[in-house]
Amino acid sequence: MNIEFANDVVEGLTSKNKQLSSKYFYDDTGSRIFQEIMEMPEYYLTDSEFEILSLQAKQIIDAIGFNQPFNIVELGAGDGLKTFKLLEYLVNNNIDFYYVPIDISQGAMDSLTHSLQEKLPKLSIHPQVGDYFEILSKENVKTKIPSLLLFLGSNIGNYSEQEASNLLQLFNKSMKVGDGLLLGVDIKKNPKKIHDAYFDQHGITKRFNLNLLNRINNEFDGDFNIEDFDFYCYYNPISGNVKSYIISLKDQKVHLKKLDTVIEFKTNELIWTELSKKYSLDEINELSTKCDFKVVNHFLDNKNYFTDTLLVK
C-alpha cells in the first residue's frame, strides 16, 4: 500500500475543505488520459512548448554554454514528446550528452525509453523511476559533469507561490554551480483562452479528474460511484490561478475498506484537486532571483503564450 497516498487521501477527504493533491493524478491510466489532454486543440500549452523546443533548441543550448559533455536531466518526463526535438538537435549535431529522464510512472518511462531508442538509436539514455530529489542527489550532485535540468510543461504552476519558491530552492540545492534549469511556464493571457484549455467541451479533463476517484477505489477498495460526481474549474486572471474541483452531486457516504474510513459528502460539496498558476515574465524573474538563480533568457513561442525560461545556479 502507498502509505503517503493513503494518509493524504484520509487527511484530505476528512478535512473541512476537502482536497486531493494533483500529484496523484498520474497513475498509468491518468498518464494516458493526460496524453489525450495534450492532444486537444484547446490545450495550447503542448503545442506552444513544442514550438519553442523545435525552433529554438540551438539557441537554448548555446545560451547554457557547456563546453564539455553534460547531462540533460528531465523531471517528470512523461511521453517526452516536446523534449524529443531538443534531444534530436543534440544527437544530430553530435553533441556529447547523457539523457536522464525521471518520472514516477513506470509505464510512462517504459514507453518513453522504447520510443526514443527507436527514433534516436544513438541517444545515451539512463531512465530513472522515482522521486526527483532522491535521484538528483545521486545522479547530479555527485557527478562532476554539468547538468541542464528540464522542468517543462508548466508543472511549476501546480504549486502555490510559496510551494513554487520552496521547490525551486530544492532544485537549487540539488544543482552544482553553473548548472542550468529550463523552466516551462504558462504565461498570463486572454482569460477565455486559458478557461477553454482547462474546462474542455470534450470532457477529457473531467475524466482525468474523476480517474483520481477510480484510483482511490482500486488502491483502497473504495466504493466511489463516479456517476455521482461532476467536475468544475475556473480561472482568476488577477491571481493567475486556475482551480479545479470534483463536485458531489448528492448527499452520500463512501467507504474506503482498506483504510477503514467512511467519507461523508453533502450535495454540491467540493474536492479541490488542482492548482494551475499562470505567471507574468516579471513574476518569473522575481521568483527565480529569490531562489538564487540568474535568469539567462525567456524563450517564447510566436504567440507569447508560453516560455521556457533558462535559469543558471
Which tens digit of pLDDT belongs to each residue from 83-136? 899 999 999 999 999 999 988 778 778 888 888 989 999 999 988 888 877 887
Report the share of the chain in percent with pLDDT over 90.
79
Are 75 and 169 in the same domain? yes
DSSP-based helix, strand, coil % in the chain, nearest 5: 45, 25, 30
d(Cα 292, Cα 311) in Å, to the nearest integer? 10
Are 224 and 306 in the same domain? no
In a domain, 212, yes or no: yes
Residue-wise pLDDT tens digits, 134-157: 887 776 656 788 999 999 989 999
Q: What is the DSSP string of 86-126?
A: HHHHHHHTT--EEEEEEES-HHHHHHHHHHHHHH-TT--B-
Are 152 and 272 in the same domain? no
In a domain, 293, yes or no: yes
| pLDDT of amino acid 141 | 57
Task: Give 126-130 contacts, CB < 8 A, sequence gap 24+.
Answer: 126/98, 126/99, 126/100, 127/77, 127/100, 127/101, 127/102, 127/103, 128/100, 128/101, 128/102, 129/102, 129/103, 129/104, 129/105, 130/102, 130/104
**pLDDT exceeds cutoff 90 at 196:** yes
Pairing of strands 147-151, 70-75: parallel
Eight-class DSSP state of 20: -
| pLDDT of amino acid 31 | 85
In a domain, 194, yes or no: no
54-63, 70-79, 91-100, 237-246: segment of lowest average pLDDT:
70-79
Q: Whole domain around residue 84: which residue ranges?
A: 44-189+280-312
Are 178 and 217 in the same domain? no
CATH number of 128's domain: 3.40.50.150
| pLDDT of amino acid 139 | 63
In a domain, 195, yes or no: no
| pLDDT of amino acid 143 | 73
Q: Which residue is listed with cell 517504459?
A: 110
| pLDDT of amino acid 140 | 61
| pLDDT of amino acid 133 | 78
Are 50 and 11 in the same domain? no
Q: Round the average pLDDT of the chain to a whole number and report it.
A: 93
Are 112 and 136 in the same domain? yes
Residue-wise pLDDT tens digits, 200-246: 999 999 999 999 999 999 999 999 999 999 999 999 999 999 999 99
Report the share of the chain in percent with pLDDT over 70.
98
| pLDDT of amino acid 110 | 87
- Report how many domains make up the chain: 2
d(Cα 22, Cα 242) in Å, to the nearest integer? 13
Over residues 165-188, the mean pLDDT reads 95
- Can you say whether the dihedral through the CA atoms of 210, 215, 220, 222 is positive or negative? positive
Structure confidence at residue 43 as a pLDDT band (50, 70, 90): very high
- C-beta neighbour count of 144 within 10 angstroms: 6
Task: Give 43-48 contacts, CB < 8 A, sequence gap 24+.
Answer: 43/197, 43/200, 44/193, 44/197, 44/303, 44/305, 44/306, 45/153, 45/154, 45/186, 45/197, 45/305, 45/306, 46/81, 46/82, 46/153, 48/301, 48/303, 48/305, 48/306
d(Cα 17, Cα 21) in Å, to the nearest integer? 13
